[in-house]
Amino acid sequence: MHILLLNEYFPPDTSATAKCAMQVTDALTQKHRVTVLAGRPSYDPTERHPYYLWRREVRGNLVVERVGSTAYPRFEMRRRVSNYLTYLSLAVPRALSIRSDLVLAMTDPPIEGIAGALVGRLSSRPFVYNIRDMYPDMAVGGSIVRPGSLTARWEAMHRWALRRAARVIVLGEDMRDRIVAKGVDPGRVVISRDGINIPESLPSPDNPVAREIRGDFRFVLVHAGNLGFYGAWQTLISAIRMLENEGVGLVFVGEGAMKAKVEEMAAGCRAVRFLPFRPASEVPLVLSSGDMHVVTVKRGLEGVVVPSKLYPTLAAGRPVLGVAPEECDVVRIIRRSGCGLASNPDDPNAVVEAIRGVLHDSEQIRKMGLSAREIAFSYDRVKQLKIFAETLEEVVHE
């Protein structure tokens, strides 16, 4: 079959959706033809393109078409919105002219799903919606926009797109619950997680990168990844302040929109350190560090964002500290598998109590790490991409 994939970002863009779109196309093109309709690279790209109205690249069963959207750096919202609008204004007419068996839309820009539903309806093709981040829920919950008439209209249009979708592919159980609560038939909502390639062997935790991250702390919590608006940062920092004199350290490895704010929260606390992202080749070494790895989602955003950083942590055999609501996927997985500890994202005292419970119990930490490694095989990326591909095939054959 021929699949038309709509997403503004595609490599050399480096966004999460660009990487995911690449993984999806790699899997699909083994059996099918895929046309990706993207914009000019603008999300921290590894290379930039000169201006053009339209560009086409053919790589075997994959065709990458790019429309001549603006390509401003993503850091200024007005310019990012310009990228969004110019992409959509050029991509929607082009999508209508491309013959395909199915329209698949992701979530960049945030109204891409609505655009995909429109293309599907106008061209009488089945539409499948792959939700990476749920809008406008995320924009409102993250205080990016204020709730009002604009977000109400956005939500109404989004629900229309959900109803138009032959299938809605989501990242976890909590996101599925959110979608079903919006009135979508549960039989049309499929879970296909980001997953992870499971390494056959793990690096020794006594490596130079891990030693640098651990520093002089006796018990180390690591948050490796994006410092986004969705985390319960204040709760986490407040808890670490209470543990400052007990040898506990929290090390952030990475960047993100909330980094400056989190640094401000942690000002003067010796138990919190910030380190930059490490090269991709050193990620396994980063994951080998720390007694526990932190995954956090603040209340109200459960099912709106599903942190993919959980899966490489499990594959690395490291215990997880989930500072998130009970409804979150990370907490459900912790409860089912025993791969870590879960704590209330609104209560620093609960986080402190959870950490103190394992602070001097190396055997419990070891067992949680073994459980993490064991459950990781349930989220093997090949298995998850197979679910994704089979869902599309099912839609076309209906």
Q: What is the pLDDT of residues 4-26, one digit of tens each?
A: 999 999 999 988 889 999 999 99
- Lowest pLDDT segment from 43-47, 58-62, 86-90, 320-324: 43-47
Distances (CA, A) of 368 to 258, 318, 330, 346: 30, 7, 14, 24
- With 80 as the cut, is the pLDDT of residue 143 above it? no
Q: What is the pLDDT of residues 158-175, one digit of tens each?
A: 999 999 999 999 999 999
**Which of 293, 314, 315 minimizes the C-alpha distance to 214?**
293
Is-above-0.85 flag for pTM?
yes
Pairing state between β 272-275 and 189-191: unpaired
pLDDT of residue 253: 93
- Among residues of the chain, what percentage have pLDDT more than 90? 79
E strands, 228-368, are 248-253, 272-275, 292-296, 320-323, 340-343
pLDDT of residue 145: 81
pLDDT of residue 133: 87
What would the two tokens of residue 117 be?
């539903």
Q: What average pLDDT score do residues 275-290 get?
A: 89
C-beta separation of 41 from 69 below 8 A: no
Tell me the β-bridge partners of 2.
33
**Environment class of 393 (CB within 10 Å of its CB; exposed 0-12, middle 13-18, buried 19+):** middle
**Could you give the dihedral angle defined by the CA atoms of residues 57, 102, 20 and 73, in that order, rounded to the nearest 10 degrees?**
60
Q: For all residues of the chain together, what is the average pLDDT?
A: 93
C-beta separation of 74 from 257 below 8 A: no
pLDDT of residue 57: 95
Q: What is the pLDDT of residues 48-106, one digit of tens each?
A: 999 999 999 999 999 999 999 999 988 788 898 999 999 999 999 999 999 999 999 99
pLDDT of residue 139: 84
* Angstrom distance (rounded) from CA 177 to CA 147: 22
Q: What is the pLDDT of residues 338-374, one digit of tens each?
A: 999 999 999 999 999 999 999 999 999 999 999 999 9
Consecutive H or E run containing 79? helix 77-97
Q: Is 298 helix (H, G, I), strand (E, B) or coil?
A: coil
Q: Contacts for 72-79 with beta carbons within 8 Å, 24 or more apart?
A: 72/42, 73/42, 73/44, 74/42, 74/43, 74/44
- DSSP conformation class of 196: B
* Angstrom distance (rounded) from CA 383 to CA 378: 8
Q: What is the pLDDT of residues 183-231, one digit of tens each?
A: 999 999 999 998 888 988 888 888 999 899 998 999 999 999 888 888 9
* Angstrom distance (rounded) from CA 320 to CA 75: 31
pLDDT of residue 205: 83
Q: What average pLDDT score do residues 313-332 get?
A: 95
* Angstrom distance (rounded) from CA 123 to CA 119: 6
65: amino acid identity, one letter: E
pLDDT of residue 165: 97
pLDDT of residue 204: 86
* Angstrom distance (rounded) from CA 383 to CA 385: 6
- With 90 as the cut, is the pLDDT of residue 261 above it? yes
- The rounded Cα 146 to chain-centroid distance in angstroms is 23
pLDDT of residue 44: 87
**Which of 54, 49, 41, 52 minimizes the C-alpha distance to 14?**
41
* Angstrom distance (rounded) from CA 205 to CA 218: 14
pLDDT class for 146, splitting at 50, 70, 90?
confident
* Angstrom distance (rounded) from CA 147 to CA 140: 6
- Among residues of the chain, what percentage have pLDDT more than 70? 100
Q: Write down the residue that tokens 């989004």 correspond to.
A: 158
* Angstrom distance (rounded) from CA 293 to CA 297: 14
Residue 147, preceding bond cis, omega within 30 degrees?
Answer: no
Tell me the β-bridge partners of 35.
4, 63
- State whether the Cα torsion 177-157-129-183 is positive or negative: positive
pLDDT of residue 75: 77
- State whether the Cα torsion 98-99-105-111 is positive or negative: positive
